[in-house]
Each structure stands twice: as C-alpha cells, then as structure tokens.
Amino acid sequence: MEPDHSGSLGEDRLTPKGNPLPGSYKQSFWRRSLVVPNDDELEQFLASTVEQLEQYSQFFTDLTADGGSARFFVGLFLEQENIGIEISPELQGRCSRLGLSLGFDIYGPD
C-alpha cells in the first residue's frame, strides 16, 4: 500500500501535492485515504482492511516497540442527524493485536 502523504522526522515539510511548507516535520507519519464503497457496511469494510494490514503485523510490532503509534482514523460525513456505530469485540481485538487505535471524527449534515 502506497501512502497518499508521508514524511520523516526532520525533513522539510510539504503539502500532500508536494509544495514546500515552512519548517520541518516534528514526527514521522504515513497516511493513506480509503473510501468505503456505498454498498458496504462500515464494520465489514474495516474488517477487510484490517485483514490486509494483518500481513504487516511485524511492522506494527516494530513501530510500537520504537515508540511509534498507529491509528485507524475514520471520518464519517452524515446525511442525517444521528447514526449508530458498533464495532464488534472481535474487530476491536484484531486492531488491538496490531497496536491500532480506532479514531472517529463524525461530521453532521450541516
């Protein structure tokens, strides 16, 4: 999986399109955006993505051993005012074994 945007500690900062920004990165990062297909349930999509990431479990183990962290960030854009989200204990456990935290930003319809 190739990142959409990445940078390493101390490198000059760049926009996602590669334009220079002032300063240098204060930490290393790697970011990849994924889009949930319209006909897919969120948990099913997360589970299939975690399944892909599980083949890199040693990378995540090494990352956290070196003081790094990994987050599975989910941005939800609502078309209605409320939504129910339930993540099964099994999926939470799989994320935990990889050292992945789950982060949700939920944006209302306005």
Q: Are 25 and 13 in contact (CB under 8 A)?
A: yes
pTM across the whole model: 0.77
Interatomic CA distance for residues 67 and 10, integer angstroms:
17
What residue spans define the domains of the chain? 1-32, 34-107
Alpha carbon distance 61, 63 (integer Å)? 5
- Which burial class, exposed, middle or buried, applies to 95 when counting CB atoms under 10 A from its CB (0-12, 13-18, 19+)? buried
Q: Is the CB of residue 42 less than 8 Å from the CB of residue 48?
A: no
Rounded Cα distance, 3 and 75, in Å: 17
- Contacts of residue 94, defined as CB under 8 A and 6 or more positions apart, other chains included, come to 47, 50, 54
Over residues 55-109, the pLDDT tens digits come to: 999 998 988 888 888 998 988 888 877 777 889 999 999 999 999 999 988 888 8
The answer to whether 13 and 24 are in contact (CB under 8 A) is yes
For the stretch 8-55, pLDDT in tens is 889 999 998 889 999 999 988 888 888 887 766 888 899 999 999 999
